[in-house]
């Protein structure tokens, strides 16, 4: 069935669409009350975030917009030190959107939410004129335990910087789909709950965390350097990139440092916790290829430098201008 303007009327067709697809996929005691707002148990300190997903294609190797929109918001909550709890989702459907596709997307969202341990508690659907597009906004709420303070301003000289796995996978998978290039590259789209929990349980002194999305590792490192007022030194040889993504990048002249992932994180930890943090991430689902890739410098120069594989050193700038549009 195709979405028509009647599905956005707020009447019978809307109820049926919501019942058949979203209630069927997301049913839980909070959502099933179907009131104007969800009422949920709270916490003293809450983290709130929102993100919109406009990726094309909707289905790509390794994931789809449904898995992506849950992972993106869950990971943003995690990176701020929160335990992710609740999600809301807003669907903007263009006339002509396919309801079978929508069913797959909703199922994928439900499955990913269950994996990440979050509950979808509210939602909205709008239909607009257009060409069959599907766009999703997800907002998320998480609880931040007392005393947990994580952010770039907390970075200290000598901190070790780790990444949880190979760079560029999601970006390369989307680009391959869009350009019709056949290869085995899969998006890494994943919730990072387990690796963050493992570090917290081990008492790792985490100073900053970011999921590596648009702008890539280079942009994160530059933002951290600016915020904490210290330099950052990266080690090119230590940065994991899969052989397939590496050759894909060489052919197209792309730099993995600027490419987005959707299931990888960068973390700055106290230098004495480096080895333990690495072990925590490596034993987690999605963290087997974690590596220590650099450190926060001892000086006050807010620049990011990288020691190249050939032994030289160069400055790494932020991503300027247009990255690839619509990778998330
Ligand atoms: Mg983020």
DSSP labels, 65-111: HHHHHHHHHHHHHHHTT-EEEEEEEEEEEETT-BHHHHHHHHHHHHH
The Å distance, Cα 159 to ligand 1 centre, comes to 20
- 126 contact partners, CB below 8 Å, separation of at least 6: 8, 90, 91, 92, 93
- Residue 7 C-alpha to ligand 1 middle, in angstroms? 33
CA of 212 to the centre of ligand 1 (A): 7
What mean pLDDT is predicted for residues 284-306?
Answer: 93
Q: What confidence tens digit (pLDDT) does each residue in 75-118 have?
A: 999 999 999 999 999 999 999 999 999 999 999 999 999 999 99
Are 138 and 73 in contact by the 8 Å Cβ rule? The answer is yes
Beta bridge partners of 208: 268
Distance from residue 4's CA to the centre of ligand 1 (Å): 34
pLDDT band for position 320 (cuts 50, 70, 90): confident
Q: Could you tell me which of 187, 177, 128, 154 has the C-alpha nearest to residue 267?
A: 154
pLDDT at 52: 96
| Cα–Cα distance for residue pair 17/23, rounded to 1 Å | 9
The whole-number pLDDT of residue 323 equals 67
Per the CB < 8 A criterion, the answer to whether 166 and 245 are in contact is yes
Query: pLDDT band at 66, cuts 50/70/90?
Result: very high
Quote the ligand 1 centre to 75 CA distance (angstroms): 7
Q: At what angle do helices 99-116 and 65-79 cross, to 10 degrees?
A: 30
Structure confidence by residue, pLDDT tens digits, 176-209: 999 999 999 999 999 999 999 999 999 999 999 9
């Amino acid at each position: 069935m195709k979405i028509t303007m009647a599905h956005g009327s707020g009447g019978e067709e809307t109820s049926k669409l919501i019942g058949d697809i979203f209630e069927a996929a997301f049913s839980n005691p909070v959502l099933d009350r179907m009131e104007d707002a969800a009422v949920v148990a709270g916490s003293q300190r809450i983290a709130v975030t929102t993100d919109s997903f406009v990726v094309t294609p909707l289905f790509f190797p390794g994931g789809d917009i449904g898995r992506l929109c849950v992972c993106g918001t869950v990971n943003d909550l995690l990176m701020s030190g929160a335990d992710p709890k609740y999600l809301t989702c807003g669907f903007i459907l263009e006339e002509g959107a396919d309801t079978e596709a929508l069913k797959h997307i909703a199922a994928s969202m439900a499955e990913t939410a269950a994996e990440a341990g979050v509950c979808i508690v509210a939602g909205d659907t709008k239909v607009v004129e257009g060409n069959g597009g599907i766009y999703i906004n997800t907002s998320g709420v998480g609880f931040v335990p007392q005393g947990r303070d994580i952010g770039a301003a907390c970075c200290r000289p000598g901190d070790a910087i780790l990444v949880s796995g190979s760079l560029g996978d999601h970006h390369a998978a989307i680009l391959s789909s869009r350009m019709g290039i056949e290869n085995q590259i899969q998006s890494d789209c994943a919730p990072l709950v387990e690796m963050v929990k493992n570090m917290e349980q081990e008492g790792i002194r985490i100073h900053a965390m970011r999921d590596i999305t648009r702008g890539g590792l280079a942009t994160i490192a530059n933002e951290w350097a600016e915020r904490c007022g210290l330099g950052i030194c990266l080690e090119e040889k230590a940065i994991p990139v899969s052989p397939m993504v590496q050759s894909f990048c060489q052919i197209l002249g792309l730099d993995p440092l600027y490419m987005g992932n959707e299931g990888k994180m960068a973390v700055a930890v106290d230098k004495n916790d480096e080895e333990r943090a690495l072990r925590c991430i490596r034993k987690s689902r999605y963290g087997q290829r974690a590596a220590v890739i650099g450190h926060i410098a001892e000086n006050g120069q807010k620049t990011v430098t990288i020691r190249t594989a050939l032994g030289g050193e160069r400055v790494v700038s932020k991503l300027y201008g247009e990255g690839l549009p619509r990778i998330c």
